[in-house]
């Protein structure tokens, strides 16, 4: 694997995180689960990928998310946001707001549409990103900054919209190997000064979940994949706090049968470093993103057993088209090629089946919302979950 060389400063940053990981492994008796490794690699205070200074988003970073690609994403999403706010309460919480670009674009568009929320709160684990979000919002929509606040934790009660784009994929996952003799948890040890994979018998809730998955999906022996206990627990936490309102979750992933398809025998774990995607999570910890696709069936099961209703599930493509992507594009005359062509190209990326259109899904979960959501008017695939 040949990847762009990091600077000496970046290497020192990664070395500090590696030392931290080694100490955690020692403290864990020589082994930690991969979920702990991923959690520290991404979120160890001041040292992790998201909590440290890595650039992360956009052309100069490691990957491009939909809000970073073009304002067309937020401008289109605004239609669904407005409907949910009108059906619940005029408040938004955005979780994991990245660079703050979605917040800035969405606020600007909601203002244009006469549907500004009374408050826009951001729940972000990374202090470094909180500072960046404030800067982006202050620079792009300064007159709306007073509506924006940052939360330290989930609120006790909330009514309105909870929005999370590419957040579930950034939550720590366990690695599981299904063998003929049982289920093993794949974790991390240190061998000859290097991180190394070591399997142990799975236990507790992870074992229960892995056995239930085996009964449903019949994985062949040696099958490796991820199990996210954190994402389901997080959704269930919202269920306990949400009054009237909805969670809108946008991420890449599949329903369970596709996620644990016999042919997907090496899982979906993926690392992103300077626009190169690869499968080596031990490479330069702290300098690269680590993600796993989302098992949307697991999300809906956790949500519904905690009291939320499934309001809609579909591809990003059908969701954006149902939300009026074509009308948003049509606001820029095609004769103005310099402005129109980049927007059209971004729109194509967002909906093309070969790009983000099919792999990315949108799921709405909620309470007290009886009206059909417009983003799922023609493409609801809830039955596939």
Ligand X SMILES: C[S@@+](CC[C@H](N)C(=O)[O-])C[C@H]1O[C@@H](n2cnc3c(N)ncnc32)[C@H](O)[C@@H]1O
Residues that bind ligand X (CB under 6 A): 50, 57, 65, 67-68, 95-98, 102, 123-126, 129, 165-167, 170-171, 234
Cβ atoms of 54 and 60 within 8 Å: the answer is no
Give CA separation, 136 vs 26, 108, 126, 132, 324, in Å.
Answer: 40, 13, 15, 6, 26
Nearer of residues 10 and 125 to ligand X, judged by Cβ: 125
Q: Which is nearer to ligand X, 34 or 234 (CB)?
A: 234
Nearer to ligand X, 61 or 177 (CB): 61
Q: Which is nearer to ligand X, 102 or 116 (CB)?
A: 102
Contact call for residues 81 and 105 (beta carbons, < 8 A): no
Q: Report how far residue 162's alpha carbon sits from residue 159's, in angstroms, rounded to the nearest whole number.
A: 9
Residue number, nearest CB to ligand X: 96
Q: Report whether 350 contacts 316 (CB < 8 A).
A: yes
CB 349 → ligand X: shortest distance, Å?
Answer: 14
Q: How far is the CB of 74 from ligand X (least distance, A)?
A: 10
What are the residues facing 162 on neighbouring strands?
93, 247
- Give the nearer residue to ligand X in terms of CB position, either 89 or 123: 123
Nearest distance from C-beta of residue 224 to ligand X, angstroms: 23
* Minimum distance from residue 129 beta carbon to ligand X (Å): 5
In the complex, least distance from residue 272 CB atom to ligand X, rounded to whole angstroms: 9
Question: Smaller CB distance to ligand X: residue 98 or 375?
Answer: 98
Collect all residues with Cβ–Cβ distance below 8 Å to 18 and sequence separation of at least 6. 195, 285, 286
Min separation Cβ 180 and ligand X, Å = 35
Helix axes 127-140, 101-112, angle to 10 degrees: 30
Cα angle: 146, vertex 49, 125; to 5 degrees: 35
**Contact 112/268 with Cβ under 8 angstroms?**
no
């Amino acid at each position: 694997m040949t990847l762009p060389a990091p600077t000496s400063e970046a290497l020192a940053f990664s070395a500090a995180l590696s030392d931290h990981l080694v100490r955690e492994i020692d403290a864990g008796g020589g082994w930690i689960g991969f979920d702990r490794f991923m959690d520290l690699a991404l979120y160890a205070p001041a040292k992790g990928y998201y909590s440290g200074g890595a650039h992360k988003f956009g052309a100069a970073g490691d990957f491009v998310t939909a809000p970073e690609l073009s304002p067309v994403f937020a401008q289109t999403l605004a239609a669904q946001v407005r409907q949910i706010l009108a059906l619940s309460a005029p408040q938004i919480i955005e979780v994991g707001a990245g660079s703050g670009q979605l917040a800035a674009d969405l606020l600007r568009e909601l203002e244009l549409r006469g549907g500004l929320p009374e408050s826009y709160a951001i729940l972000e684990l990374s202090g470094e990103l909180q500072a960046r979000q404030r800067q982006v919002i202050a620079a792009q929509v300064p007159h709306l900054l007073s509506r924006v606040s940052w939360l330290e934790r989930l609120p006790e009660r909330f009514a309105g919209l909870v929005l999370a784009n590419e957040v579930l994929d950034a939550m720590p996952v366990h690695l599981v190997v299904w063998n003929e003799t049982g289920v093993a948890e794949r974790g991390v040890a240190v061998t000859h000064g290097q991180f190394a994979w070591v399997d142990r018998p799975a236990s507790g809730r992870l074992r229960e979940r892995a056995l239930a998955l085996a009964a449903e999906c019949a994985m062949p022996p040696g099958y490796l994949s991820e199990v996210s206990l954190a994402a389901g627990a997080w959704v269930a936490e919202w269920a306990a706090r949400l009054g009237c309102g909805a969670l809108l979750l946008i991420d890449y992933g599949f329903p369970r049968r596709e996620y644990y398809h016999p042919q997907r025998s090496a899982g979906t774990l993926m690392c992103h470093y300077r626009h190169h995607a690869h499968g080596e999570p031990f490479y330069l910890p702290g300098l690269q993103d680590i993600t796993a696709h989302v098992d949307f069936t697991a999300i809906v099961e956790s949500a519904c057993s905690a009291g939320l209703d499934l309001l809609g599930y579909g591809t990003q493509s059908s969701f954006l088209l149902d939300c009026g992507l074509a009308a948003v594009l049509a606001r820029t005359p095609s004769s103005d090629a310099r402005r129109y062509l980049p927007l059209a190209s971004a729109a194509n990326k967002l909906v093309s089946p070969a790009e983000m259109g099919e792999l990315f899904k949108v799921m709405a979960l909620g309470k007290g919302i009886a009206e059909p959501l417009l983003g799922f008017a023609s493409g609801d695939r809830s039955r596939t979950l």
